[in-house]
Amino acid sequence: MIGLQLFSVPKLLEKDFRGGMKMLSQIGFKELEFYGPFPFSTDAAKAWWDKVTPSLGFSGSGYFGHSADEVRSILNENDLSAPSTHTDLDTMRNRMPQLGEAGRQIGFKYIGLPSIPEPLRKTLDDYKKMADEFNKIGEQAKKEGLKFTYHNHGYGLQEMDGQIPLNIILDRTDPGLVFFEMDIYWTTAGGADPVAYLEKYRNRYHLMHVKDMKEKVKFSGDGGNSAQWIELFPYMTAAGDGVLDLRSIITKGKTAGVKHFFVEQDMVANPEVALKRSYDYIKSL
């Protein structure tokens, strides 16, 4: 089934959550991936979100002002499910029981960390410590019936003191406790090959963000901060309209253990048109 990461349509959902869900269902999407912060998220997570939203032009996230029961009802009305959500490290550290309860209410099984906070990934030792903490978070998530996933951005894909930081995370974490979500756009912008990672680390990637590039671009730096991510937003395009070999990537993903494919086109303009193009193209594959 083809899903959608809701960060693709935040302004639409902030304005009309119920209508937005109906539109996504009519396009053909069956699965959704939410993003936080949520009502139960930590104060630190909410404060960080409040800092970044002025530059984004919206503030809606989580349940978009609805209760968990209302969200589940709206999903059911539109034949939608939500197997995955993004949250943040502080909430995972301090609100795992609440994440478990939310999972049971909404239906998601995967809780994804969209990025490692910048101060916690300065050195190889930082990455090793993070990998060890991922194992602990994965263990706590498992007790709640959840699966912890890590979603890559651009950082960690280039050599640091002779090693690739992302490989350290993949090699140092327990395959039964820590799962991965490949963002093929950020992987490419970071100078790595999505197919090579899927092949080398078979069955580690359970989720994938599918998006396309108008032309091959790389980060201006190491891909390590939101400013570098946002400056590449304009190069995103509907799946099949760009230069990425989505057929090879998706085919490899299916044989390498990816279970959920989420279209993501961050804050896309004209979602009715662009997301329909992505959905139709991926379905054709």
For a pLDDT cut of 90, what percent of the chain falls above it? 92
Section 2-28 average pLDDT: 97
CB 261 within 8 A of CB 30: no
Residues 196-238 have pLDDT tens digits of: 999 999 999 999 999 999 999 999 988 888 889 889 999 999 9
Please report the pLDDT score of residue 274 as a whole number.
Answer: 93
H-helix or E-strand spanning residue 37: none
At residue 217, what are phi and psi to the nearest 5 degrees? -130, 155
The pTM of this model reads 0.96
Q: What is the mean pLDDT of the chain?
A: 96
CB 131 within 8 A of CB 150: no
With bands split at pLDDT 50, 70 and 90, how would you rate the model's confidence at 266? confident
**Which string of DSSP letters, residue by residue, matches 52-101?**
HHHHHT----TTTT--HHHHHHHHHHTT-EEEEEE--HHHHHH-HHHHHH
Residues 56-109 have pLDDT tens digits of: 899 999 999 999 999 999 999 999 999 999 999 999 999 999 999 999 999 999
Please report the pLDDT score of residue 267 as a whole number.
Answer: 84
Section 13-35 average pLDDT: 97
Please report the pLDDT score of residue 226 as a whole number.
Answer: 83
CB 149 within 8 A of CB 218: no
Please report the pLDDT score of residue 71 as a whole number.
Answer: 98
As a whole number of Å, the CA-based R_g of the chain is 18
Give the closest residue to 239 by CA, choosing from 192, 270, 280, 197.
280
- Count of other CB atoms within 10 angstroms of residue 212: 24
Report d(CA 143, CA 200) in Å as an integer. Answer: 29
Per-domain residue ranges for the chain? 2-284
Output DSSP code: residue 234. G
CATH 3.60.15.10 given to domain 2-284: no
Please report the pLDDT score of residue 268 as a whole number.
Answer: 86
CB 214 within 8 A of CB 222: no
